[in-house]
Chains A and B, each alone.
Chain A
Amino acid sequence: MTEFATPAIAIDGVGKDYLDPRGGPPVRALDGVDISIAPGEFVSIIGPSGCGKTTLLKMVDGLIGVDRGEISVLGRRVSGPGPERAVVFQSFALLPWLTVEDNVAFGLKQRGVAAQERRRIAREHLERVGLGGFEDKHPSQLSGGMQQRVGLARALAVNPSVLLMDEPFSAIDAQTRLLLQSDLLRIWADTDMTVLFVTHAMDEAVFLSDRVVIMEPRPGRVREVLPIDLPRPRTEEIRSTARFAELTSAVWDRLRGMIANEDAA
């Protein structure tokens, strides 16, 4: 792995235990996780359900604290949410009573950006995610795919250095999902954002990422980090190449063992 002066995200020996709500012994959700992500890198995390992907992402955002180890973003130790990070949520987490534009402006408003300026920035980012003209609609008037575009625009609007995405496209139909993946890559390529992307879809991880982190459960650990050597910019055609198929099946090879164990257990 390449060494960088300051990683965008440095996850260092991180562990997390959850108390069992029914009073059993604590669940070891994560243990000894080390991941270092370079500025501008696109890294996906994949692994069986319950291996701690969401927990890890929330810890990088500072929504929950680490029990062991340390996480730094841009060289600064994470102790809570910060302005250089933004999250795109699996359930979109839009506010249905606000217009699309006000949803996109939500983060800006929290930062005290003036109304006029918020409006301008929100519109600019709606344009960027392909929703120009939808400013005054409400989220319920949009399809799932469009709602998540709003979620993406809301995160982009605060101009984050680090974008955290937790299965952002898992609730979206397969065709729309492919479009969203391409659009995300296009948007990311225009920035120097670092992206940490959690997914269950192997093809999605391969298509998007520079590296795929494969995790295993109980306790959640990094099993392997797979570099994705597909050229960029990545277009739809790349999905039908032999290398794409090889890499996807390489991910599946690592996962299959864990899921088979799961089924046997």
Chain B
Amino acid sequence: MSLTTTRPVRRLGTRFLGVVPFLVSLTVVLVVLELVGRTGAFIAVPPVTDVAARFGELLTNGTLIEPLRTSLTTLGIGLAISIGAGTVIGLAMGLSPTVDALLDLYVKAGMSAPIIAFVPLLMLLFGIGPETRIATVVLFSIWVVIVNTSSGIRRADPARLEMARSFGTTRWGVLRQIRIVEATPYLLEGVRLGVARGVKGLINGEVLIAIVGLGGLVKTYGTAFSMDQLYAVILFIVLLALLAVGTASAIGPLILRHNREG
């Protein structure tokens, strides 16, 4: 009785305690960076307070508006293509051993290949317009969506599939009512990882291809050795990536809404 009442409290307490070491280390790192930055000995290490001030300016002075619009558009289109096409390709591979045999090698290669090396090729194909940046986002993010979809689809319990067939469920019905439901955690994980990789692709593309968007700001400040502004933008990008992944994690379950108790 007392055990059941104290348990949630203790768990909350443990979770809070778990954050403490991180907060301590963060404080130490920030203080050290600030002290080193104040000496002005290293150009690469501006004072933390300066970075924070630039970050504040960045958010309020309108510098971000245009780059952010460009970047989010590229990211949105790229991710829509990756998640849409990746899911379809993943479903086909998960359902058909023939399609799987045809594509598996390319997907594995895509997962591990240094995509950045293909950017010049993409520029040849698409020029230096937004298409190349979108293609970069796609090439960074699509593979993990494909792999998670296909392996999720293959995980369905054979006994449940047989049960459905016995009750006369159509192929489409089996996919919708059983395979996709059982694959849901994998599909969501694929989307989360895809979004994170897509943000990486976005910034890489913007830095390498055309000086636009958030990546463009990185390039501009970096070339000018304006370190406090550079770090402020990077901080913003990291927070944006976390927000994008968080959004994907929150929206995913709403789309793939099943009561997955038990």
Q: Say whether A and B bind each other.
A: yes
Which A residues touch B169, using CB under 8 A?
110
A216 interface hit (Cβ, 8 Å): no
CB distance from B187 to the nearest CB of A (A): 14
In the complex, the chain A residue whose C-beta lies closest to that of B260 is A97
- Whether A110 contacts B167 by the Cβ 8 Å rule is yes
Known interface pairs A89-B159, A95-B178. Does A138 touch B166 (Cβ–Cβ under 8 Å)?
A: no
Which A residues touch B166, using CB under 8 A?
61, 63, 81, 85-87
Taken together as a complex, chains A and B put the C-alpha atoms of A96 and B258 apart, in Å, by 11
Choose from A85, A93, A139 the contact partner of B163 (Cβ within 8 Å): A93
Mask: chain A, 165-189; 1 = CB below 8 Å from B; 0 = not: 0000000000000000000000000
Choose from A83, A95, A138 the contact partner of B168 (Cβ within 8 Å): A83
Taken together as a complex, chains A and B put the C-alpha atoms of A85 and B167 apart, in Å, by 9
Q: Which residues of chain B from 114 to 158 have a CB within 8 Å of any chain A CB?
A: 157
A98 interface hit (Cβ, 8 Å): yes
Please tell me the number of chain A residues within 8 Å of chain B, measured between CB atoms: 25
- Whether A63 contacts B258 by the Cβ 8 Å rule is no
Choose from A82, A83, A98 the contact partner of B259 (Cβ within 8 Å): A98
| Residue from A63, A89, A96, A141 whose CB has the most chain B CB atoms within 10 Å | A96
- State the total of A-B contacts with C-beta under 8 angstroms: 58
Known interface pairs A91-B159, A95-B178, A97-B181. Does A111 touch B259 (Cβ–Cβ under 8 Å)?
A: no
In the complex, the chain A residue whose C-beta lies closest to that of B181 is A97
Q: Which residues of chain A from 64 to 123 have a CB within 8 Å of any chain B CB?
A: 81-83, 85-87, 89, 91, 93, 95-99, 106-107, 110-111
Which B residues touch A140, using CB under 8 A?
261-262
Please tell me the number of chain B residues within 8 Å of chain A, measured between CB atoms: 20
Q: Which residues of chain A from 190 to 208 have a CB within 8 Å of any chain B CB?
A: none
Mask: chain B, 158-192; 1 = CB below 8 Å from A; 0 = not: 01101111111100010001100100000000000
In the complex, the chain A residue whose C-beta lies closest to that of B174 is A110
A158 interface hit (Cβ, 8 Å): yes
- Whether A97 contacts B167 by the Cβ 8 Å rule is no
- Whether B259 contacts A97 by the Cβ 8 Å rule is yes
- Whether B167 contacts A139 by the Cβ 8 Å rule is no
- Whether A107 contacts B167 by the Cβ 8 Å rule is yes
Mask: chain A, 122-149; 1 = CB below 8 Å from B; 0 = not: 0000000000000000111100000000
- Whether A86 contacts B167 by the Cβ 8 Å rule is yes
Taken together as a complex, chains A and B put the C-alpha atoms of A213 and B181 apart, in Å, by 40
CB distance from B27 to the nearest CB of A (A): 44
User: Can you spell out 6 A-B residue pairs with CB atoms less than 8 angstroms apart?
Assistant: A89-B159, A89-B162, A89-B163, A97-B259, A106-B164, A110-B164
Interface residue ranges, B against A (CB under 8 Å): 157, 159-160, 162-169, 173, 177-178, 181, 258-262
Known A93-B159, A110-B164; 15 more pairs at CB < 8 Å: A81-B168, A82-B168, A85-B166, A86-B167, A89-B159, A89-B163, A93-B162, A96-B260, A96-B262, A97-B181, A97-B259, A97-B262, A98-B259, A138-B259, A140-B262
